[in-house]
Amino acid sequence: MRRSLVLAVSAALVAGTALGFAPATQAADTAGSLRFVDIAGEGGTVLKANFVTPAGADAATRHPLIVLPTSWAMPQVEYLAQAKKLADSGYVVVSYNSRGFWQSGGEIETAGPKDIADASKVIDWALANTPSDPDHVGMAGVSYGAGISLLAAANDPRIKAVAALSGWADLIESIYSGRTQHLQAAALLGGAGYLTGRPGPELQQILGDFLSSDLTKEEDMIAWGRKRSAVEQLDRINANGAAIMLGNAWGDTIFPPNQYADFYEKLTGPKRLEFRPGDHATAEATGLLGLPNDTWTSAHRWFDHYLKDVDNGIDRERPVQLKPRSDAGYEGYPDWKSLDANRRKFDLGGTQRIWANVDSGANGGVVMLSNLLDQFFQAPPVASVPLLPRAFAGVWQSERYDTPQRVRGTVKVHTTVSSTKESGTLVAYLYDVGPLGLGKLVSNAPYTFHDRTPGQPFGVDLDLFSTAYDVPAGHRLALVVDTVDPLYIEHNPTGAQLTFSSPAGDPSYVSVPLRAE
């Protein structure tokens, strides 16, 4: 595990550095419009930054401003290719290295109050030192930059439009969903932070408590995460009225899509939600290299309409845009909840008992890798469902479907569990099972419980990570439940057994949202 995490961190950093530096020469050659500067952030902390202005810009003409905070562990040149494209279409663009990373001063605050204050300081600097229009200010970013942009929109009413790509709105639901630590995601972020920056003492403490499963600090960790979650500042975001575009990947193993969809539904201003195949930040990656990219194209259109008043029709399109994990094109929906309009259930009948602490062979893959393969080759993690050891995995299957089943949205699992121990973890997987029994992973999610009375049944309702997946005719769906997955920290005492049942008065089931044909 330690070796795989080191490799994952190294690969992410190598890829990130390549994405950041590749377009630098190209951007630097554009009519001398690129400048590298130091900006005084909150408390005077130096933020390393760069800005690009439209060709021929002068102090007499004001241009809309876009501010781009860098992603976690990325250098300040991350956005140069996109900055050039935006400047060519009439924007002043300022990108800065988030505090605590690379050459910027300070310590990593993880989107804390100082990070949000930094964003406003950068806007102040841009309005004072570039031909920026104070009435037309936008923010955008990938991952960490997305999270900071959303939080800044809650605290700075000058921000009129945001494009938050592969980010989070709820940090707890992102890396602690189902009361389960997302091990590989947290280790990747923590490792990259130590390699490229200076984690502050608060982050070091939280990360240590998180990875060591110190439940005495659980409330502290949750409070820390809530302070850094845009959903907790929803009233302020809605009051400020910024136009919010959210983009993410179905297989994001760091910030899963559910939390973005829930946040989107609660926004009251202009809004747009886009989901595509891929893993964390892979949907935007080619755009950082200056290549054609759907996500960045949408972001540019979003800013053109809400910062430049361009009538490009984006405000009249269906605001929820989904690209399935197949060769199919985009599908538009009026809202996220409309995906729940057509659901089909299959029963989780009978009683099944499994031993904990043993990986059955069903798992969610490897952070940043498995869903990248699915994005480009439609090759998700697989398992031979008939060969899964029933001593360590519960297995239930639907009937074989005569027609394609187009799964769209959030699959819900309801079951009754009892354990021989007071604590435990289970992981649910939904597979698309072909005629030979080979299952392709559709979705998964973990669930952890504590302080339960051994032998006493209790109900479990679990939302799997949202997805858009087409199950071919002749296939069936299978729900597999086991207790160990390398993606997550498990809390199963040695020798524990879990029993899954379906009481007559409260039957167990899987509810699958299907596209209405």
pLDDT at residue 57, rounded to an integer: 82
State pLDDT tens for residues 82-107: 999 999 999 999 999 999 999 999 99
pLDDT band of 354, cuts 50, 70, 90: very high
Q: Which of 349, 331, 333, 439 is nearest to 385 (CA)?
A: 439
Provide, rounded to the nearest whole percent, the portion of the chain with pLDDT above 70.
94
Task: State pLDDT tens for residues 449-466.
Answer: 999 999 999 999 999 999
User: What is the DSSP secondary-structure string of 78-104?
Assistant: TTHHHHHHHHHTT-EEEEEPPTTBTTS
User: Does 335 score more than 90 pLDDT?
Assistant: yes
User: Both tokens of residue 318?
Assistant: 């269906």
Provide the b/e sequence for 339-356 (b: ≥16 CB within 10 Å). Answer: beeeeeebebeeebebbb
What was the pLDDT predicted at 327? 76
pLDDT of residue 24: 36
- Over pLDDT 90: what percentage of the chain? 91
Q: What is the pLDDT of residue 58?
A: 81
Q: What is the pLDDT of residues 235-289, one digit of tens each?
A: 999 999 999 999 999 999 999 999 999 999 999 999 999 999 999 999 999 999 9
Model pLDDT, residue 517: 75
Q: What is the pLDDT of residue 14?
A: 35
514: which DSSP letter? B
Report CA dihedral (74, 80, 86, 90) to the nearest 10 degrees. 130
Mean pLDDT of 421-427: 98
Can you tell me the mean pLDDT for 42-64?
Answer: 93
Tell me what pLDDT residue 257 has.
Answer: 97
Among 219, 222, 252, 178, which residue's Cα sits nearest to residue 489?
178
Write down the pLDDT at residue 250.
98
**With bands split at pLDDT 50, 70 and 90, how would you rate the model's confidence at 32?**
very low
Kindly state the average pLDDT of the residues 207-221.
Answer: 94
Give the position of tokens 């029709």.
Answer: 313
The per-residue pLDDT for 11 is 39
Q: What is the DSSP letter of 369?
A: T
Residue 253, classed as helix, strand or coil, is coil
pTM: 0.92
Q: How many CB atoms lie within 10 A of CB 58?
A: 8
Residue 100 region by backbone torsions, left for phi larger than 0, else alpha for psi between -120 and 50, else beta: left
Q: Is the pLDDT at 435 greater than 60, yes or no?
A: yes
Stretch 148-154: mean pLDDT? 98
Q: Answer whether residue 212 shows pLDDT above 70.
A: yes
Residue 191 pLDDT class (50, 70, 90 cuts)? very high
